[in-house]
Amino acid sequence: MNFQNSKQILFTTVKWFFICLLIGILSGSASAFFLVTLEWVTHFRIQHNWIIWLLPLGGLLVGLTYYYWGESVAKGNNLLLEEYESPKKTIPFKMAPLVLLGTLLTHLFGGSAGREGTAVQMGGAIADQFTKLFKLDISERKILIILGISAGFASVFGTPLAGAIFALEVVYFSKINLKSIFLSFLVAYAAYFTVEFWQVKHTHYNIPEVPEISLTTLSYTIIISIVFGFAALLFSRTTHLWGSLFSKYIKYPPLRPFVGGIFLAIAIAGFGFTKFSGLGVPVIVDSFSTANPWYDFLLKILFTGFTLGAGFKGGEVTPLFFVGATLGSALSLVVPMPIALLAGMGFVAVFSGATHTPIACTIMGLELFGLQPGLFIAIACTVAYFSSGPVGIYKSQIVRGAKYKLYRKLNSNF
């Protein structure tokens, strides 16, 4: 290796290290601001429940904002996946403030949505701005998109390992080069420690009791994991269904969240379903110690699918946590396993099935719950992944690997 080559390698290494730090710090700071403001609007809504009746007006504001200023970024996470698969033009930076505003309005007025979509979109929009600044080519731009997803996910959930792997896995893991893997971990930790620097706290969960591994416990784990996969399938299909129905019957986009907001306000405020508005984190936490009614997970699927399908902004992942944790909690009434373990398994397994990311979800389970329930978590994520069908929450996601081959073979046989 001559001096010129060594110099070029050193320059490239320093450049990407600097890019990762910039993306990590900027995305982490954006997530920290988002988490603080999200907590504020959530607290305000809880203290002033009457504001839910204004959900239609909040929806109209979100709809008008995206219709007149955000049409190019309305696809959200799907735009990131499309630009990774077929790079065309830099993601507009306006995606970040628009999705931040839309998500805060959704949660302020009581819509049922998550937060990961917001953090990932902010991270992706921030990262892609470095394409022109550093004059990067198409392959390098793909790395930037991975870094943005990684930074956003890691910072909003406080799970850097899962965030790094999620970014790699969700964009089609088998086409990732080694440089992307290393940089994804680097930016995830940069974003994670940035949020820690701003002293923003994440929710902690605990599985105090884990049974011994036996044929009985493994059999129960496989059976309930199939149920978790079906719940993921129902969540994905429901969200897509409501989106299609709103698009078909309401041609003027800003009216979709307005009309949807009317129905949501009546259901949530009028009939007392306030536990299904917003993130639902208190319900998730309680599900680790108290058995939920069997229908809670179904209602969360309904409310979240309707909210996002109508055009409100936010993410799907925290609602997926809600669905999985409450379903696992309810199953504790019939499955002789610890309630916290069942809730924890559902927490990550439904997420795995809906996003086609079993590796990232397994790692997330280990980061959140520790190593002791690791085998149960891994089985739950893997089985739910295979039993959740070929369609996930992201329409633009390219599904490959064992799951793709399985469903292609099944389709050919029927």
pLDDT, tens digit, for every residue of 189-247?
999 999 999 999 999 899 999 999 999 999 999 999 999 999 999 999 999 999 999 99
Helix extents (H) in 173-214: 178-197
Do 77 and 120 form a contact (C-beta atoms < 8 A)? yes
Residues 141 and 244 in one domain: no
For residues 68 and 124, what is the distance between their CA atoms, to the nearest angstrom?
22
> Taking CA 264 as the corner, what is the angle to CA 263 and CA 269, rounded to the nearest 5 degrees?
110
Distance of CA 413 to the CA centre of its chain: 33
Decide if 383 is inside a domain: yes
pLDDT, tens digit, for every residue of 124-164?
999 999 999 999 999 899 999 999 999 999 999 999 999 99
Decide if 207 is inside a domain: no
pLDDT, tens digit, for every residue of 56-94?
999 999 999 999 999 999 999 999 999 998 888 999 999
Helix extents (H) in 271-373: 281-287, 296-310, 317-331, 339-355, 358-369
Decide if 99 is inside a domain: yes
CATH code of 373's domain: 1.10.3080.10
Residues 126 and 44 in one domain: yes
Number of domains in the chain: 2
Residues 172 and 317 in one domain: no
Residues 392 and 254 in one domain: yes
Predicted TM-score (pTM) of this structure: 0.95
Decide if 206 is inside a domain: no
Decide if 202 is inside a domain: no
Residue 64, classified by CB atoms within 10 Å of its CB into exposed (0-12), middle (13-18) or buried (19+), is middle
- Sole residue written with tokens 């994670």: 192
Extract the tokens encoding 229: 């996969």
Residues 152 and 186 in one domain: yes
pLDDT for the residue 400: 63
Residues 141 and 191 in one domain: yes
Domain limits for position 174:
3-197
Cα–Cα distance list, 344 to 10, 88, 324 (Å): 44, 40, 8
